[in-house]
Amino acid sequence: MTERQLQEAIQHQVLYGGRLGTSLHELGFITEEKLQEALAKAHGVAAMAVDLREVSPETVALIPRAMAAKHKVFPYQLRGKTLFLMMVDPSDHGALASVGFTLGYIVRPLVVPEFRMIQLLRDYYGIDERWRYNDTHRPLALPAEAPDVHTAAARIDEAGTRDEVVESLMALCRHFFRRVLFFIVREPWVVGWTGAGEGTDRDLAQQLRFPLDEPSVFQTVTRDKTMFIGRLGADEQNRRLLDVLGKRATTNAAVFPVVVKGRVVNLVYADNGATGNVKPTLGELLVLIQRVPRAYLRIIRRRVAEARKAVEDTAVEAEGKESG
């Protein structure tokens, strides 16, 4: 693929999480077959195309839903005492040991692209595909909530991953509002990702999903790319949100977009509780929020540079082997 395609894929990955191969496939830069071949070669395991006719209910039933969700694995075939296990990461020896010990089978790992695993877990186990948006570069420990506005804003500038940007943005907004919800925009949906504040948390946020092809405050902000402050109105999707939050329709809220290269990639909903109103003077916050798209772009540029260097180093190493 070209360097431009690599740059687009890295940008896609930073904004929407997941593995780089998923971004390459979603953007149409690589076929599933080529990606699977590359993954198999990289991990040193067999490449096997998914044939759904080979999947049996009895084999699927061998692995409990919770185990499949935790380890991102799928039982593909059972031949005697050997279980062919599809994995996103076949080098995850802990997952292999857990499955083998629990079931008492010899486990043979097969690599499968992340997007295919998402489909398998959704269709056969009913596991929400929202984990596709996980930040695969997430640090082991995120910083504690910022004690003040300036610290939160500074952490956005210092962030090295998408999750660090999001957590810093949430901390910033919590100094202006009593509760905040963060959404990922992937048309035709707005998908809840995390939340904080009065009666709000990550679990509640991840229950939320709103269609962008129906009237709502989310549709308006995404279309107009401008902040909204006011009462949400009587549209069905607005009422859904109000009901979930237990918020009075006579009070107001704010929704503002995060725009990267002219496209809305995130939405942030904020209010001052079930019965409170948002103050109309949010100029300071609007200025500080502009650090978020700049942080995304900085992370993208850094990862592109790292990828370019890795390609150059690989080429030099290959040339050295040939000359040797």
Q: What percent of the chain has a predicted confidence (pLDDT) above 70?
A: 98
Q: Is the pLDDT of residue 29 over 70?
A: yes
Contact 296, 303 (CB under 8 A): no
At 324 the pLDDT is 65
Instruction: Please check whether residues 61 and 114 belong to one and the same domain.
Output: yes
Peptide bond into 280 cis (omega under 30): no
Q: Is the pTM of this model over 0.85?
A: yes
Does pLDDT of 129 surpass 80?
yes
- Strands annotated E in the chain: 73-79, 82-87, 106-111, 179-186, 189-197, 209-211, 228-230, 253-260, 263-271
Three-class DSSP labels, 61-110: CCCCHHHHHHHCEEEEEEECCEEEEEECCCCCHHHHHHHHHHHCCEEEEE
CATH number for position 56: 3.30.300.160
- What values do phi and psi take at 106, rounded to 5? -80, 125
Mean pLDDT score, 61-79: 95
Say if residue 237's pLDDT is above 70. Answer: yes
Q: Are residues 159 and 287 in the same domain?
A: yes
Same domain, 182 and 211: yes
Q: Does residue 104 form part of some domain?
A: yes
- For residue 238, give the CATH number of its domain: 3.30.450.40
Q: What would the pLDDT profile of 162-209 be if each residue is shown by its tens digit?
A: 999 999 999 999 999 999 999 999 999 999 999 999 999 999 999 999
| Cβ within 8 Å of residue 72, ≥6 positions away | 87, 88, 89, 95, 117, 121, 131
- For strand 263-271 and strand 253-260, is the pairing parallel, antiparallel, or unpaired? antiparallel
Range of the domain at 64: 18-133
Cα 66 off chain centre by: 20
* Residue 310 pLDDT > 90: no
**pLDDT value at position 173?**
96
Task: Give the model's pLDDT for residue 30.
Answer: 95
In a domain, 4, yes or no: no
Phi and psi (nearest 5°) for 222? -65, -40
Asked if residue 272 belongs to a domain, the reply is yes
Domain count, the chain: 2
Asked, for residue 308, whether it belongs to a domain, the answer is: no
The pLDDT value given to residue 3: 87
DSSP state of 132: G
Same-domain check for residues 294 and 195: yes
Same domain, 176 and 283: yes
Under 8 Å between Cβ of 209 and 189? yes
For residue 324, being part of any structural domain is answered with no
Domain boundary (103, 133, 163) is at 133
Mean pLDDT score, 108-137: 95
Q: For residue 322, is it within any domain?
A: no
Q: How far apart are CA 22 and CA 14, in angstroms?
A: 12
- Asked if the model's pLDDT at residue 1 lies above 70, the reply is yes
Residue 202 lies in a domain: yes
Residues 126, 155, single domain; the answer is: no
What was the pLDDT predicted at 312?
84
Neighbours of 295 (CB within 10 A): 24
Q: Are residues 252 and 166 located together in one domain of the fold? A: yes
Average pLDDT over residues 207-235: 97
Same domain? 155 vs 288: yes
Average pLDDT over residues 71-84: 94
Mean per-residue pLDDT, 94-114: 93
Q: Which residue has the higher pLDDT, 52 or 123?
A: 123
Q: How far apart are CA 234 and CA 237, in angstroms?
A: 8
169 and 281 in a single domain? The answer is yes
312 lies in some domain:
no
Residues 257 and 155 in one domain: yes
pLDDT digits (tens, 9 = 90+) for 278-302: 988 899 999 999 999 999 999 999 9
Enumerate the H helices of 175-264 as residue ranges. Answer: 202-205, 217-224, 236-245
